[in-house]
Structure 1
Amino acid sequence: MKELLYHWLKKPFVIFVVVPFLIYSIYQVLFATERYESQTQLLVQQPSSGGSLDPAVLLISGFSGGVTQNDTELVRAFIHSNDMLQYIKSTVDFDSHYSDSSIDLFSRLPSSATYEETLDFYIDHVDIDIDEKSSVIAVKVQGFTPEFAQQMTQVIRDRAEWFINKIGYDLAEAKLDFIKKEHSAIESKLEQAKVELLSFQRQYNLIDPLAESAALQQITSGLDGQIALKEAELATLLTSMSEYAAPVVQVKQTLVGLNQQLENERQRMIVGTATESDLATSPNGVNEILSKFSGYKVNVELALQAYTASLVSMEQSRIEAYRQLKYLVMVESPTLPEETKYPRVTYNLLLFLVLNCMLFGIVRIIVETVRELK
């Protein structure tokens, strides 16, 4: 019997398949530490895409909230990032939990693990599934106690929500800052145009040269009319009186005064109200003043139109930035597991046996082929 057993144990299949399977079975059944799995489901949403709908309705209807694959992949990348791991370490006792000596050697995190090993261990214990149709993100966290698994899932959910909000607000703030800078530049141009117009008005003591020009023209027209009447009156008087008669002299004096007044008003239209220094260097007439005033006024009107358009654009940009904000909707809150999920003993043993048999078969084929070639 012993010889038969010894002969049987010497067979390659027993040595390379049966014995390793028995050892692995003993480890899985007796020594492997059980792990619990907590789960939460998240959905990236936008205010403009049915944000008022109930998350359960969104999930059932397969509505993705206008979210692209990049959004969900961004959440996955952040959850599996070193930043998330460092935040978890600062929030919960990550190392103590996963490096506890009561955990079997192959399941726990070595106390001397490097940064890369710790990150790989963390990624192995945080699984993320994304539904392509509804874009729902399922986050599954493994822990050696139900409470810790749930706590860590909650921490991941809260931090992921903070991350999505931060990205949205940062992008919106950057866009609004750019619009505000452009608006400030336009506002400065408007103020500069107003200052130039006011300075011009103060220089020539004019509120509105156009109105004053019209007033001067009205005055000269009135004087022309009065002069014509007086000349007609003078001609009538001369037909019956001497030119030295008192009424004739009085009318002549009135005509002299009116002509002098008309000349003064015409002179004002030629030289305007410029200062003496201006007149010494350049004859700034009313036409030139009107031309300059029109230029300054057009600048103010254009700057005002640009300012109004900028206000509208800034408000539209603010609304658009709000619509583009994204946030996480919690479809399912972190669960508190009651049963262990890992290790999946039956699945692991069958997988180990199948792979080991396949490997053994491949090696046997190679060995037999080499023997035949010899």
Structure 2
Amino acid sequence: MTTKVKARKFRVRNTAGAVSEAEAAEIEAGEIGTEAETGSERRETANAGDAAGGAPDDPAAETPKSPAEEIDDIRKENLTGRQLRMARRVAQKQGLSPSSDYDAVRLLRAKGIDPFKRSNMLELVVSDETVDATQQKMLSALPAKVSEKSEVPALAVTSEAERAQQIMDMQRDIVRRRRRRAAMLGIRLLFFVLLPTFVAGYYYHSVATPMYSTHSEFIIQKAEQSGGGGIGGLFAGTGLANSQDSITVQGYLNSRDALLRLDQDEGFKAHFSDPEIDAIQRLAPDASNEDAYKVFRKHVKIGFDTTEGIIKMDVIAADPEVSARFSRQLIAYAEQQVDQLTARLRSDQMQGADEGRKEAEGKMFAAQQRIVELQEKLGVLNPESEIAAVMSQIATLEGDLLTERLNLRTTLDNAQPNQAKVNAAENKIEEIEKLIAEKRAELTESSTASGSLARITAEMMVAQSELETRQEMLFQAEAQYESARMEANRQVRYLSLAVSPLAPDEPSYPRVFENTVLAFLIFSGIYLMVSLTASILREQV
């Protein structure tokens, strides 16, 4: 047995031009035929070997094989994918209904047709109309259902032109849908974002009334505290030490009381009810206090800088002079409020100290009056001087008495003393002793008109001691009053202007560009949120 020589194939570009579909099919069929001949030779060689090697009386060789065994034998032939596809097409042309490519080979061989012959393959190259009719016939002849274990049948063959046309149609449809969606998106953005933004920009540019803002800054301070130590002493007398007072003043300037006073003094409602102001910013002539308060909070902006302790105020009005006047009036209200912050504390401190001082003065005067009454009643100006005078007299009399006694003793020492001198000396001594007794009696014994000097001295000492006590209490009351006055002076708050309110010469509001951009962002955000919500609801429903 000889084997045909098989030439090596190469892919060579056709420079003369593109070959026709029929010629390409013939070339493909030739290649498949060559492969089929090779496969047939391999199969014949295998059958010959089996016949030569097998026993003639082997019962297994004569037994017919089942379709599954035949398919397994076909699988062992190692047919290529192209051969299997061509075999299936030949089987469909013959009107067979194979369940797989290998089953197509089995059915064709059972029918006596070699699917790999060149003649059978060239018959497949027909016109497009014949191919379409044949395909329709074969599709109608195919079974409705295949077994689960069978292989998936081959897909219908589509030409490159049809595939390109289908892709082009899909691309055109996608482009058309995208254009329609882009157009709808543009329309929605136009109506829900751009048009409202244009209206807002037109209002801010051409309709809104120009507003003038007057800026001012002030700080609340109090007197310096002497001897302040620690960290608190570092901030004494600064705005940071009075942050609570500053916040209180800020709250008062934002209150309805400030609005009512400003309307009563400067006509706040009348100014913002002016017909020259646009309808959106204008206040109705019969507006309530709540409506006026909303406009007041919008046009009077007050802030407190906690880092520097400064209150910053911006007053907005339709006229620059009116804006400056409103600002100065609000600063005057703030000064009054600052004065009232510690007025109660200062008045209470001064009132208590003044009452104590007056009470001490009254009691001191009463003690002095008591001493005067005792002096008038007793007839003694100074008991101590009276006692000193009496004691001086007693001392003088005692000296005279001692002198007389010495003279009397000298006289009695004579041998013949003069009796007249002795009697005179004795009488004189008795008189002196009586005088001394009387003087001593004045010190201790009470008389009918007044008491004794001892009693008078005691009463005067008590009155003098009470007077000294009252004088000391009056001195302490005076010191306390002075301390309260100094503390009250330290509690005094005063408002210092850092930036005085001046009338502007150019309007501050409206800010056309900033407000228009802000309106665009707001409308875009609303549209985005509504679109996302609608998309989520659409997917959920």
Per the normalisation by structure 2, the TM-score is 0.58
> 2:387 — aligned with what?
213
Give 1:140 deviation, angstroms: 0.9
Is 1:298 the counterpart of 2:465? The answer is yes
Which of 479, 485, 503 aligns to 1:336? It is 503
Work out which of the two has the higher radius of gyration on C-alpha atoms and give 1 or 2: 2
Contact 1:8 1:14 in 2 (8 A): no
Gapped regions of structure 1 (runs ≥ 5): 50-62, 277-283
* Cα displacement string for residues 252-300 of structure 1 (whole angstroms, at most 9, x for unaligned residues): 1111211111111111111255636xxxxxxx54444333322221211
Contact 2:328 2:501 in 1 (8 A): yes
* Cα displacement string for residues 125-167 of structure 1 (whole angstroms, at most 9, x for unaligned residues): 1112333333232221100111211221122223323443455
> 1:97 — aligned with what?
271
Is 1:191 the counterpart of 2:392? The answer is no
> 2:94 — aligned with what?
none
Which of 38, 52, 75 aligns to 2:214? It is 38
Contact 1:204 1:273 in 2 (8 A): no
Give 1:174 deviation, angstroms: 4.5
Give 1:84 deviation, angstroms: 2.6
**What is the correspondence of 1:43-192 to structure 2 with a 5 Å cutoff?**
43-48=219-224, 64=238, 67-165=241-339, 167=341, 171-192=345-366
Corresponding letter in the other structure for 1:353: F
* Cα displacement string for residues 303-330 of structure 1 (whole angstroms, at most 9, x for unaligned residues): 1122223333333433443343222222
SS at match of 2:389: helix
Distance in structure 1 (CA, Å) of the matches to 2:362 and 2:282: 65
Range with bigger deviation, 239-248 or 102-111: 239-248
Distance in structure 1 (CA, Å) of the matches to 2:447 and 2:366: 25
Contact 2:213 2:504 in 1 (8 A): yes
Distance in structure 1 (CA, Å) of the matches to 2:448 and 2:353: 43
SS at match of 1:68: helix
* Identity among equivalent pairs (%): 21
1:31 and 1:65, CA in 2 relative to 1: closer, same or farther beyond 3 A? closer
Distance in structure 2 (CA, Å) of the matches to 1:367 and 1:249: 151
* Cα displacement string for residues 214-243 of structure 1 (whole angstroms, at most 9, x for unaligned residues): 332332233233223322322232233778
SS at match of 2:214: strand
Distance in structure 1 (CA, Å) of the matches to 2:361 and 2:434: 49
Distance in structure 2 (CA, Å) of the matches to 1:68 and 1:242: 109
1:188 and 1:66, CA in 2 relative to 1: closer, same or farther beyond 3 A? farther
Is 1:201 the counterpart of 2:375? The answer is yes
Contact 1:197 1:296 in 2 (8 A): yes
Contact 2:301 2:313 in 1 (8 A): yes
Corresponding letter in the other structure for 2:481: M
Corresponding letter in the other structure for 1:303: R
Corresponding letter in the other structure for 1:30: S
1:366 and 1:206, CA in 2 relative to 1: closer, same or farther beyond 3 A? farther
Distance in structure 2 (CA, Å) of the matches to 1:65 and 1:225: 84
Distance in structure 2 (CA, Å) of the matches to 1:334 and 1:163: 19
1:285 and 1:11, CA in 2 relative to 1: closer, same or farther beyond 3 A? farther
Q: CA RMSD in A?
A: 3.2
Which of 424, 430, 436 aligns to 1:256? It is 430
**What is the correspondence of 1:281-296 to structure 2 with a 5 Å cutoff?**
285-296=452-463
Give 1:107 deviation, angstroms: 0.8
Distance in structure 1 (CA, Å) of the matches to 2:538 and 2:338: 62
> 1:58 — aligned with what?
none
Gapped regions of structure 2 (runs ≥ 5): 1-179, 226-236
> 2:398 — aligned with what?
224
Contact 2:213 2:320 in 1 (8 A): yes
Per the normalisation by structure 1, the TM-score is 0.81
Distance in structure 1 (CA, Å) of the matches to 2:466 and 2:448: 23
More RCO (CA 8 Å, sep 6+):
1
Corresponding letter in the other structure for 2:200: Y
1:40 and 1:222, CA in 2 relative to 1: closer, same or farther beyond 3 A? same
1:67 and 1:161, CA in 2 relative to 1: closer, same or farther beyond 3 A? same
Distance in structure 2 (CA, Å) of the matches to 1:320 and 1:35: 46
1:352 and 1:65, CA in 2 relative to 1: closer, same or farther beyond 3 A? closer
**What is the correspondence of 1:347-366 to structure 2 with a 5 Å cutoff?**
347-366=514-533
Distance in structure 1 (CA, Å) of the matches to 2:525 and 2:398: 121
1:244 and 1:16, CA in 2 relative to 1: closer, same or farther beyond 3 A? farther
> 1:236 — aligned with what?
410
